[in-house]
């Protein structure tokens, strides 16, 4: 599907341009806390939304405890349930896990007609399509976050080692929505870049996550623990399989760049535990079907064999079924 063919743009409303002064972040986990705290620190009006009453109470009392390369601080951020939001924001950022995208978007559906933009930097495939079931396609900005965030206790997040964000329009008519979103993220200290080939960026990240997160979740290893010959062999094999699937779907991913990114994560983000590992270890639902499962589905549709990925994903499904 080409970007010109993705759902309906908003009929006769403004272009989506215009600066971003207010943000709602849906999903107050590791990434939601990081983005909400950084945006708040630099003067954007942010509200965190979640479904967990204890978490919302703790965030309202203590704010977010942010640890990044600049140090540790407490950042006060208003937090509430979606039904208690009053007034529309300029931007909604969806930072739930992929299996919670649909209910999270449904909970803010009453803002779909306000001209607000929606950003997803979630891992996996299918999140912008789910958002487009509710919000106009030309208001959706999609992309990837190549940086680590680990939840610490109830209100904390640790993100060390930096990284970058790549953003692009989900719909060809939505290009004007991208720059204001990139600008507000850049003002909060994120290395946010707009890219013209967002499909390649998303698939490169999916290849990266499929290879790293599945092995991490299966083995319990932090990134550095996988940096041994059998770990590197399995990761490289899965990356090559996902690259073949992307190419079969006409997406021009760069295999060498993905191999370099996985090796960079194993070394520079060595102490990070992939988000899928954090979920499986805590007995929470993991993004099995929206990351490796989604790639397998597209591999089958294109007739591309992905034997290593299928075997690892089935092993992971067994682990997940046993841990819940
Ligand atoms: N952590 C990382 O390093 C990175 C993560 N990502 C991606 O970013 C996304 C978010 O990841 P992460 O922050 O780690 O996830 P977390 O699980 O830490 O946070 C997600 C939060 O969303 C909450 N939630 C669930 N359903 C809803 C809902 N309907 N409305 C509002 N909130 C809801 C969850 O509550 P509950 O726990 O009760 O379900 C949880 O508090 C994922 O797609 C992930 O793959 C991308 C790059 C790096
Ligand atoms: C942090 C990163 C980039 C993997 O190292 C990630 O995407 C994840 O943990 O899900």
pLDDT tens by residue, 168-189: 999 999 999 999 999 999 999 9
CA–CA gap between residue 151 and residue 157 (Å, rounded): 4
State the DSSP H helix or E strand holding residue 73, giving kind and residue range, or none if neither: strand 71-75
**HSE-up (13 A, CA, CB side) for residue 9:** 19
Comparing CA positions, the residue from 2, 19, 5, 8 lying closest to residue 177 is: 19
- 124 CB less than 6 Å from ligand 2? no
Starting from the edge strand earliest in sequence, which strands make up the sheet with 45-49, in order?
79-80, 45-49, 22-26, 91-94, 117-120, 140-146, 164-169, 192-194
Of the candidates 133, 157, 169, the one whose C-alpha atom is nearest the C-alpha of residue 8 is: 133
Percent of the chain with pLDDT over 90: 87
| Residue to mutate (ligand 2; options 207, 209, 263; most atoms within 8 A of CB) | 209
Name every residue whose Cβ is closer than 8 Å to that of residue 97 and which is 6 or more positions away in sequence.
Answer: 27, 29, 122, 275, 279, 285, 286, 287, 290
Quote the pLDDT of residue 9. Answer: 57
Whether residue 298 contacts residue 243, with contact meaning beta carbons closer than 8 Å, is answered with no
Residue 17 has pLDDT above 80, yes or no: no
Stated pTM of the model:
0.93
Please give the pLDDT value at position 93. Answer: 98
- Marked catalytic residue, from 6, 38, 205, 269: 205
For 256, residues 6+ apart whose C-beta sits below 8 A from its C-beta are: none
Ligand 2 neighbour 149 (Cβ under 6 A): no
Structure tokens at 42: 């630099």
In sequence order, the 6+-apart residues with CB closer than 8 A to the CB of 187 are 42, 43, 44
Does the C-beta of 174 come closer than 6 Å to ligand 1? no
User: Which is more confidently placed, 30 or 10?
Assistant: 30
- 272 Cα nearest atom in ligand 2: 5
The CA 248 to ligand 1 mean position distance, Å, reads 30
> Does 205 participate in catalysis according to the annotation?
yes
Q: Best substitution site from 29, 162, 265 to test ligand 2's pocket, by max atoms within 8 Å of Cβ?
A: 265
Does the Cβ of 159 fall within 6 Å of ligand 2? no
Tell me, what's the pLDDT at 14? 46
d(CA 105, CA 174): 19
Q: How confident is the model at residue 7 (pLDDT cuts 50, 70, 90)?
A: low
Bridge partners of 22, per DSSP, are 45
Closest atom of ligand 2 relative to the 149 alpha carbon: 1
State the average pLDDT over residues 185-205: 96
Q: To test the ligand 2 pocket, which listed residue (164, 227, 274) has its Cβ within 8 A of the most ligand atoms?
A: 274
* 49 ligand 1 Cβ < 6 A: yes
pLDDT confidence of residue 18: 86
Q: Which residue is listed with tokens 């013209």?
A: 196
pLDDT of residue 323: 74
pLDDT at 13: 47
258-294: pLDDT as tens digits: 999 999 999 988 888 898 998 999 899 999 999 999 9
């Amino acid at each position: 599907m080409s970007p010109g063919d993705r759902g309906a743009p908003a009929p006769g409303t403004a272009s989506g341009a215009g600066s971003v002064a207010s943000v709602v972040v849906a999903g107050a986990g590791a990434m939601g806390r990081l983005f909400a705290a950084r945006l708040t620190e630099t003067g954007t009006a942010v509200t965190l939304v979640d479904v967990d009453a204890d978490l919302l109470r703790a965030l309202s009392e203590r704010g977010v405890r942010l640890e990044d390369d600049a140090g540790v601080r407490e950042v006060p951020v208003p937090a509430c349930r979606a039904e208690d939001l009053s007034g529309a924001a300029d931007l909604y950022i969806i930072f739930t896990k992929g299996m919670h995208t649909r209910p999270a978007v449904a909970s803010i559906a009453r803002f779909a007609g306000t001209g607000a933009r929606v950003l997803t930097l979630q891992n996996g495939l299918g999140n912008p399509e789910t958002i487009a079931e509710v919000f106009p396609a030309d208001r959706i900005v999609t992309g990837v976050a190549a940086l680590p965030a680990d939840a610490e206790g109830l209100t904390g997040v640790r993100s060390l080692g930096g990284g970058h964000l790549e953003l692009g329009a989900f719909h060809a008519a939505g290009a004007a929505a991208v720059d204001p979103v990139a600008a507000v993220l850049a003002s909060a200290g994120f290395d946010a870049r707009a890219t013209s080939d967002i499909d390649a960026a998303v698939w490169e990240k999916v290849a990266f996550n499929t290879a790293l997160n599945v092995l991490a979740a299966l083995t319990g290893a932090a990134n550095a623990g996988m940096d041994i010959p059998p770990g590197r062999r399995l990761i490289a094999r899965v990356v090559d399989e996902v690259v073949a699937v992307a190419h079969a779907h006409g997406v021009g991913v760069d295999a060498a760049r993905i191999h370099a990114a996985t090796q960079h994560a194993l070394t520079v983000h060595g102490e990070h535990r992939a988000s899928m590992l954090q979920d499986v270890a805590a007995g929470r639902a993991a993004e099995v079907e929206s990351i490796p499962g989604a790639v397998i589905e597209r591999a089958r549709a294109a007739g591309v064999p992905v034997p290593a990925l299928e075997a690892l994903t089935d092993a992971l499904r067994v682990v997940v079924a046993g841990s819940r």
